[in-house]
Structure 1
Amino acid sequence: MRKALGYGLIAALTLPAVAHAATPGFDVDAATRAYLALLQGPSRAQSDAYFEGGYWLPLWSTLVSSLVYLALLFTGVSPRLRTWAERKTRKRWLVPGIYALPLVVLTTVLTLPWSIYAGFLRENQYGLMNQSFAGWAIDAAKAFGIGLIFNALLAILLFAVIRGFRRSWWLIGSGVMVAVVLFGALVTPVFIAPLFNTYTELPAGPIRERIVAIAAANQIPAEHIYVSDASRQTERISANVSGLGPTIRITLNDNLLERTAPEEVVAVMGHEMGHYVLNHVWRLILAFSLVVLLLFFVVSRIAPALIARNPRWGVRNVADPAATPVLLLLAGIGGLILTPVQNSIIRHHEIEADIFGLDAAREPDGFAKTAMRLSEYRKISPGAVEEILFFDHPSGENRVRRSMQWKKDHVPGATMVTPSPITGK
């Protein structure tokens, strides 16, 4: 009975906020500056350098992969792999899958130096990597094995569509791609993610009780709240909503529990619950389906002409598995060009989840402090255009200011706090 009353009290305190008159004496700008001051000097310079360097990573990744695809075409390796695959089976539908196996191996090997730099060396350089190279390599090998199987199956499906629908393959193919993504989202939390991390139930205690109460107040199932051992890989704090239907779940990593105060954990979980309540998983899938549709359409118009103008490549037509490097080349360039669009789509949903989380958790200072922790590796105060182009989440400064504005508007008698230094890294 006492426990039930406790849950009821916590639930009452965590119901979505009712707007109050703004607190006249609370200075949003001063409160925001107090938080921003937590990241200064060398720490801020390092954070900015890391994030700004990341602006170039998609460009260099696209350049590296494009050079590899062009090399496979101009050296004739791609048509030779197709001919080899054709000799391995009489089943035409299976040829693209067999072709994809050595292609994935070859492209992985050729891009391995870049992958090591971007995935391990750079993270280690900025103090964000907790793994040894051997540990990182083991995880990379697991991802490679999964990718090998996934890409072979995807090649079979997509080239079957291209052969069967010569004029409208871009439309049917984009639908197939979305279906594959949906299947991946469904199975990843249960079958893929546990290959890289251990997931356990969040232990009983005040934090779990508070999270359960917020979930109950917003009609969110909270029988299971998972914690991943991400600290074995990285210093980053994180939480997420993953899965679809029966596999959907909210997970926080152990860094969040170990490096932050309880009010910060609750603030982050309120944000993640916002993704759940606002159906962001489905909305993002719909939005990115349109992006995929556009990419497929553009590729379907350019690829045939590009193949026809380069007979030395040895690619018969767009339905030839040997055309895979051409398709990947165009898709990669198109994806790079559309990066600001994709970032804006995600950022819009993150802002909505921020607002929901502030209303649900009622922890504006906890959320502001978390935003500052995230700014250990995210530039804290970008320009407006910079944020639109390169940020897939709101900047730390915008998140802190939104938290302080919420505090002024919803907390009667709000007072400015002096935030404690960021520690725990």
Structure 2
Amino acid sequence: MKKSLYTTITVFFIFIFIFIFYVRFAEYKNMENLKSNPSQTISLQNHTIVTLPKISDKAISYKKVNLNIWSLNLFLTFAIPVLFLTTGLSLKLKSFVENTTKSFILQIAFYFILFTIINCLITLPLDYYSRFINKHNFGLSNQTFAKWLSDYLKSFSLSTLVGAAFLWIPYFIIKSSPKRWWLYLGLLSIPILLFTTFISPMYIDPIFNKYTSLENKGLEKKIYNQLDKVGLKDSKVYQVNKSVDTKEMNAYMTGVFSSKRIVLWDTTINNLAEKETLAVTAHEIGHYVMGHVWKSIILGGIFTILILYLVNKSGLWIIKNFGKILGFRNLYDIAALPLIVLLMNVFMFLGNPVMNTYSRSLERDADTFELELTQNNYSAITSTIKLHENSLVLPHPSKIYEIWYYTHPSYYERIEFASKYMPWIENKPLKYNKYIKK
């Protein structure tokens, strides 16, 4: 029986290593093709010529380092919970917390805290290298070590305390309804996602950075004009001081009900021309008016139900066949937490292509809306180039990497689309005209 367990684990990791090897091979081949291609130009219908920058050696080197980080991260995603299960560490933690308190709720909380601390200690060197050292090595970060450490500890503490405080609820549901817990937890995730989306902009995000009104009042007025055109005048517009952390650029629209807002990184405002910034905000507004936030919450809940259903089925099979070796007989056993985490990671990994394909379709819709709202293809193209070039993002990945990990179309795809989509010039109806006030 023990041999069968280790054979199953070995076969799984062989699959992961094959996947990593194939992705790395495809990405290196893609990089070679990109390096050999000359600079390209795009001609708009108004005869404006946009020259695409040549791929830099720095961007290639950055991608290679990130591939190494990705490979190790993917391995650790599965290896850490397997380590807890196969070494008996999970059972030792369970025994320790049971000797500490008789309260099942506190046992779950203490176990989770110890589990996350050990997990953090294992991944901390890689987190530090990838998020701090590597960013500085390639000139993408301004962050001091003190700021990085402060943000890291804040994030770790917040997630650990919230998990410790509320993990007893899913355990209670699993124990109370062993056949339908996956459905109840999945349905519960929808209001939780909604609540998190509502409170996060107002109470969680400001823990890490300072949010203020836009210093450029002319730009602020034009963004509010955009919002007014689509019936979102009650939204707020903020800038955030991300320049203390990074040289990269970003913008997003978040929140629901009274918390909805557009947030611009100060690096975006400082590095893009005003029309380019308005192109970026139009894209983010498009996500909101087309209901992408709400769709993501609902579909996220449905996806969670499916994932938890698969976790239940596979978890029960594993316990039935290997429960004696693992040391627990039920999914609601505290020691089974690493198994649940492992199975969730596996099915989320396998579900990536579906979720990211859907995400890319939403991004294409937002790109379309951006062009229809601004009718400024040139700024859409130049802003896209600057955003990606500034972050050392390659024009496009290999197909396998795009399918598995890209939430957006590649930036070559986006600028090619922006160079051709001009229905207002061709006297064709606008796809999303119904969202824009006359």
- Whether TM-score is above 0.5 comes out as yes
Q: 2:328 aligns with which of 315, 320, 324?
A: 315
Task: Name the SS for the 2:212 alignment partner.
Answer: strand
Q: Contact 1:48 / 1:379 at 8 angstroms: preserved in 2? A: yes
Per the TM alignment, residue 53 of structure 1 is displaced from its structure 2 partner at its CA by 5.6
C-alpha separation in 1, matches of 2:68 and 2:233: 40
Amino acid aligned to 2:53: L
Q: Contact 1:267 / 1:362 at 8 angstroms: preserved in 2? A: no
Per the TM alignment, residue 315 of structure 1 is displaced from its structure 2 partner at its CA by 2.4
Task: Name the SS for the 2:232 alignment partner.
Answer: coil
C-alpha separation in 2, matches of 1:30 and 1:343: 34
Per the TM alignment, residue 314 of structure 1 is displaced from its structure 2 partner at its CA by 2.1
Q: Give CA deviations for 1:198-250 in whole Å, capped at 9, x if unaligned.
A: 00011353212211111111111256210001111111111111122221211
Q: Give CA deviations for 1:96-115 in whole Å, capped at 9, x if unaligned.
A: 22221111111111221222
C-alpha separation in 1, matches of 2:336 and 2:95: 12
Q: 1:272 aligns with which of 284, 288, 299?
A: 284
Amino acid aligned to 1:174: G
Q: Give CA deviations for 1:71-90 in whole Å, capped at 9, x if unaligned.
A: 22222221222233233433
For 2:379, the equivalent position in structure 1 comes to: 366
Residues 390, 92 of structure 1: alpha-carbon distance in 2 compared, 3 angstrom cutoff: closer
For 1:329, the equivalent position in structure 2 comes to: 342
For 1:12, the equivalent position in structure 2 comes to: none
C-alpha separation in 2, matches of 1:122 and 1:340: 27
For 2:415, the equivalent position in structure 1 comes to: 400
Q: Give CA deviations for 1:236-273 in whole Å, capped at 9, x if unaligned.
A: 11111112222121111101100010001110111111
For 1:40, the equivalent position in structure 2 comes to: 54
Amino acid aligned to 1:157: I
For 1:23, the equivalent position in structure 2 comes to: none
Pairing 1:121–2:133 present? yes
For 1:387, the equivalent position in structure 2 comes to: 402
Q: Give CA deviations for 1:108-143 in whole Å, capped at 9, x if unaligned.
A: 112212222222223223322221233211110110
Q: Contact 1:58 / 1:336 at 8 angstroms: preserved in 2? A: no
Residues 239, 358 of structure 1: alpha-carbon distance in 2 compared, 3 angstrom cutoff: same
Task: Name the SS for the 2:421 alignment partner.
Answer: helix
Q: Give CA deviations for 1:349-379 in whole Å, capped at 9, x if unaligned.
A: 1111111111112222111111101222322
C-alpha separation in 2, matches of 1:382 and 1:67: 27
Amino acid aligned to 2:54: Q
Q: Contact 1:62 / 1:333 at 8 angstroms: preserved in 2? A: no
Pairing 1:73–2:85 present? yes
Matches within 5 A, 1:257-296: 257-296=269-308
Matches within 5 A, 1:77-226: 77-203=89-215, 205-222=217-234, 224-226=236-238
C-alpha separation in 1, matches of 2:165 and 2:70: 26
C-alpha separation in 1, matches of 2:47 and 2:103: 68
Matches within 5 A, 1:404-415: 404-407=419-422, 409-411=423-425
Residues 86, 257 of structure 1: alpha-carbon distance in 2 compared, 3 angstrom cutoff: same
Residues 244, 55 of structure 1: alpha-carbon distance in 2 compared, 3 angstrom cutoff: farther
Q: Contact 2:236 / 2:260 at 8 angstroms: preserved in 1? A: no
Task: Name the SS for the 2:252 alignment partner.
Answer: strand
**Structure 1 residue runs without a partner (length 5+):** 1-25, 414-425
Which structure is higher in RCO with an 8 Å CA cutoff and minimum separation 6?
1
For 1:338, the equivalent position in structure 2 comes to: 351
Name which of structure 1's ranges 376-385 and 109-118 shifts more when overlaid on structure 2. 376-385
State the TM-score, normalized to the length of structure 1.
Answer: 0.83
Matches within 5 A, 1:220-235: 220-222=232-234, 224-235=236-247
**Structure 2 residue runs without a partner (length 5+):** 1-41, 428-438
Q: Give CA deviations for 1:160-180 in whole Å, capped at 9, x if unaligned.
A: 111111111111122233333
C-alpha separation in 2, matches of 1:31 and 1:317: 67
Name which of structure 1's ranges 352-361 and 53-62 shifts more when overlaid on structure 2. 53-62
C-alpha separation in 2, matches of 1:79 and 1:178: 32
Per the TM alignment, residue 344 of structure 1 is displaced from its structure 2 partner at its CA by 1.4
Pairing 1:348–2:361 present? yes
C-alpha separation in 2, matches of 1:387 and 1:66: 22
Q: Give CA deviations for 1:275-328 in whole Å, capped at 9, x if unaligned.
A: 111111111112222222221111111112223414233223211011000111
Amino acid aligned to 1:410: W
Name which of structure 1's ranges 195-204 and 308-317 shifts more when overlaid on structure 2. 308-317
Q: Contact 2:69 / 2:126 at 8 angstroms: preserved in 1? A: no
C-alpha separation in 2, matches of 1:214 and 1:148: 39
Identity across the alignment (%): 25
Q: Give CA deviations for 1:22-63 in whole Å, capped at 9, x if unaligned.
A: xxxx9549979x53x442142xx4335535665665553232
C-alpha separation in 1, matches of 2:400 and 2:338: 33
Aligned residues: 383
For 2:38, the equivalent position in structure 1 comes to: none
